[in-house]
């Protein structure tokens, strides 16, 4: 059980690093070259990183068949989804 | 944007990230006043930039904290339910209170928490007897060669505080950790380092609940948000590492001082 939790933490850590790395490059390029397009995508990517993190946790817990916390995690994902939905409607 | 402005925003983000990651509070409490009062950034743009910087701090410090086993994932997820609802609903509740009332309530609460934390800074939450069961939400903490056990108490209080923290977050551009960390540590039995790491893990989600709405409203001023976030990244990596070296008691006193200063300042602003 503990081993699995550590495995999940490892996957989360990697997904956070990927999101962080990609957005850092985009933000740097955008700032140095004064280009709004990479800036916009860098910021959007950074904003999406926590959402992806929750999605990764949800899948990980479902694979572990920890249904209580899968449900908890799905709920958080739904609230974040609602936030994005409200934003897209505007 | 002129180069020296970019540099100032980078440094501001770096400082906020450093302290924010060290204490698990994200740094929005310093960023919003600095950006608005210090650099004349409009409040909405400052809140949006702060939310993005909080996400950067949460993400960067979590890569360090996860590696050291400091994040209590189950506790984080349980509290994320409350905090994300609070975050999304923050804007709605905001219209019921004037900014002044909000500042006064928030500031007074923080100052009171700071005083309480200062008084209790000598008490430890950990149990040295490793045969004690941590329970479903508790956990173990490795400090040097010693393993400690801690149990989570008063979960409803932690959930309520997370809801409130989420609401304040959506409203004022904070991560909400400034409420969560002291409550978890002082009332719920969570060791300060675990409270900070777990809060830092959550605040990204709290900020993400409201940040898209700010983005869609056009409140994100790209170069400002980008520079602050870029500065926050190395700042928070350093802060997360530093937070593990400092003694628990010193960390608590530092947190108490931050609470007293920020709380007192906000309450005064409202008067």
Gyration radius from chain B CA atoms: 17
Mean pLDDT of chain A: 87
Write down the pTM of the prediction: 0.88
Write out the two tokens for B51.
Answer: 């939310």
For the cut 50, the answer to whether the pLDDT of residue B243 exceeds it is yes
A35-39, B48-52, B176-180, B192-196: range with lowest mean pLDDT? B176-180
**Shortest Cα–Cα distance, B175 to chain A (Å):** 13
Task: List the single residue in B with minimal CA-CA distance to A89.
Answer: B216
Other CB atoms within 10 A of residue B229 CB: 31
A90 contacts in chain B (CB < 8 Å): 213, 216-217
How does pLDDT run across B245-266, given as a tens digit for each residue? 888 788 888 888 988 888 888 7
* Complex prediction ipTM: 0.91
What pLDDT is attached to residue B95?
55
B146-150 and B139-143 as β-strands: parallel, antiparallel, unpaired?
antiparallel
What pLDDT is attached to residue B142?
74
- Helical H segments across B143-221, by residue range: 155-172, 177-186, 192-216
CA A75 to CA B159: how far, in whole Å? 15
**Shortest Cα–Cα distance, A48 to chain B (Å):** 8
CB under 8 Å to A70, separation ≥6 — which residues? A58, A61, A62
Write out the two tokens for B201.
Answer: 């893990």
Percent of chain B at pLDDT > 70 equals: 93
Strand pairing partners for B141?
B148
For the cut 80, the answer to whether the pLDDT of residue B1 exceeds it is no
For the cut 80, the answer to whether the pLDDT of residue B39 exceeds it is yes
What pLDDT is attached to residue B135?
73
What pLDDT is attached to residue B93?
60
Percent of chain B at pLDDT > 90 equals: 16
Q: What is the mean pLDDT of residues B217-222?
A: 88
Maximum average pLDDT range among A37-46, B17-26, B147-156, B215-224: A37-46
**Burial tier of B51 (Cβ tally within 10 Å: 0-12, 13-18, 19+):** buried
Task: List the single residue in B with minimal CA-CA distance to A52.
Answer: B205
Q: What is the mean pLDDT of residues B53-75?
A: 89
**Burial tier of A41 (Cβ tally within 10 Å: 0-12, 13-18, 19+):** middle
Q: Least CB-CB distance to B84: which of A24, A57, A79?
A: A79
Other CB atoms within 10 A of residue B216 CB: 16
A24 contacts in chain B (CB < 8 Å): 230, 233
How does pLDDT run across B90-137, given as a tens digit for each residue? 755 655 667 677 777 778 878 888 888 888 777 776 776 667 677 777
For the cut 60, the answer to whether the pLDDT of residue A1 exceeds it is no
CB under 8 Å to B68, separation ≥6 — which residues? B197, B244
What pLDDT is attached to residue A38?
92
Which residue, chain included where needed, has tokens 């993005």? B52
**Shortest Cα–Cα distance, A17 to chain B (Å):** 7
Q: What is the mean pLDDT of residues B50-61?
A: 93
Q: Least CB-CB distance to A9: which of B66, B81, B215?
A: B66
Sign of CA dihedral B10, B11, B14, B15: negative
CA B117 to CA B253: how far, in whole Å? 7
**Burial tier of B2 (Cβ tally within 10 Å: 0-12, 13-18, 19+):** exposed
Contact check, Cβ <8 Å, A80/B208: yes
CA angle A40, A42, A44 (to 5 degrees): 70
CB under 8 Å to A68, separation ≥6 — which residues? none
B58-67, B71-80, B168-177: range with lowest mean pLDDT? B168-177
**Which residue in A50, A59, A57 sits closest to A81, CA to CA?**
A50
CA B51 to CA B68: how far, in whole Å? 26
CA A71 to CA A87: how far, in whole Å? 24
What pLDDT is attached to residue B17?
92
Which phi and psi angles does B52 have, rounded to 5°?
-65, -40
For the cut 80, the answer to whether the pLDDT of residue B155 exceeds it is yes
CA B71 to CA A9: how far, in whole Å? 9
Strand pairing partners for B149?
B127, B140
How does pLDDT run across A32-75, given as a tens digit for each residue? 888 889 999 999 999 999 999 999 889 988 888 888 889 989 99
What pLDDT is attached to residue B217?
84
What pLDDT is attached to residue A41?
94
């Amino acid at each position: 059980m503990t081993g699995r939790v550590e495995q999940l933490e490892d996957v989360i850590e990697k997904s956070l690093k990927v999101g962080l790395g990609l957005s850092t490059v985009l933000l740097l390029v955008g700032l140095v070259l004064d280009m709004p397009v990479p800036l916009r995508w860098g910021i959007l990517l950074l904003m999406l990183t926590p959402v992806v993190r929750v999605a990764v946790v949800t899948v990980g817990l479902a694979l572990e068949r920890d249904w209580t916390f899968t449900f908890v995690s799905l709920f958080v994902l739904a609230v974040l989804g609602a936030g994005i939905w409200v934003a897209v409607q505007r | 944007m002129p180069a020296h402005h970019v540099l100032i925003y980078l440094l501001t983000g770096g400082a906020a990230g450093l302290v924010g990651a060290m204490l698990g509070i994200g740094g929005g409490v310093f960023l919003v006043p600095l950006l608005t009062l210090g650099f004349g950034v409009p409040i909405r743009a400052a809140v949006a930039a702060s939310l993005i910087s909080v996400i950067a701090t949460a993400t960067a410090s979590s890569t360090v904290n996860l590696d050291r086993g400091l994040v209590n994932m189950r506790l984080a997820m349980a509290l994320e339910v409350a905090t994300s609802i609070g975050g999304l609903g923050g804007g709605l509740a905001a219209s019921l209170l004037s900014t002044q009332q909000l500042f006064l309530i928030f500031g007074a609460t923080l100052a009171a928490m700071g005083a309480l934390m200062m008084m209790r800074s000598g008490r430890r939450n950990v149990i040295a007897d490793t045969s004690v069961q941590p329970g479903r939400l508790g956990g173990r903490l490795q400090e040097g060669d010693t393993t400690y056990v801690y149990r989570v108490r008063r979960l409803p209080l932690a959930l309520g505080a997370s809801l409130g923290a989420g609401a304040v977050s959506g409203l004022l551009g904070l991560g909400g950790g400034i409420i969560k960390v002291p409550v978890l540590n002082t009332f719920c039995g969570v060791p300060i380092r675990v409270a900070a790491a777990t809060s830092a893990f959550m605040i990204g989600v709290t900020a993400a609940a409201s940040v898209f709405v700010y983005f869609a409203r056009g409140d994100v001023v790209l170069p400002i948000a980008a520079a602050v976030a870029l500065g926050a990244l190395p700042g928070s990596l350093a802060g997360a590492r530093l937070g593990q070296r400092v003694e628990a008691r010193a960390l608590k006193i530092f947190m108490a001082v931050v609470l007293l200063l920020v709380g007192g300042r906000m309450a005064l602003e409202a008067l």
